[in-house]
């Protein structure tokens, strides 16, 4: 039986990576709060 979590770095980066955050407004919200670190 296959495990439920089949990690895939490319797929993950597309959803949660830096460039995915640029497309949304997550980074802008964090910039507005004057965060030192915008992404993990």
pLDDT digits (tens, 9 = 90+) for 1-40: 999 999 999 999 999 999 999 999 999 999 999 999 988 8
Q: State the pLDDT at residue 17.
A: 92
pTM higher than 0.75: no
Total tally of structural domains belonging to the chain: 1
Q: State the pLDDT at residue 40.
A: 80
DSSP code string of 1-40: ---S----HHHHHHHHSHHHHHHTTHHHHHHHTT-S-S--
Nearest to residue 15, comparing CAs of 4, 26, 31, 29?
26
Query: Measured at the alpha carbon of residue 14, what is the angle toward residues 9 and 16, in degrees to the nearest 5?
Result: 85
Q: State the pLDDT at residue 39.
A: 86
| In-domain check, residue 22 | yes
What range does the domain containing 16 cover?
10-34
| In-domain check, residue 24 | yes
| In-domain check, residue 19 | yes
């Amino acid at each position: 039986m296959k495990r439920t979590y089949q990690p895939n770095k490319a797929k993950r980066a597309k959803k949660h990576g830096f460039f995915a955050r640029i497309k949304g407004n997550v980074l802008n919200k964090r910039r507005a709060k004057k965060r030192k670190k915008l992404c993990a």
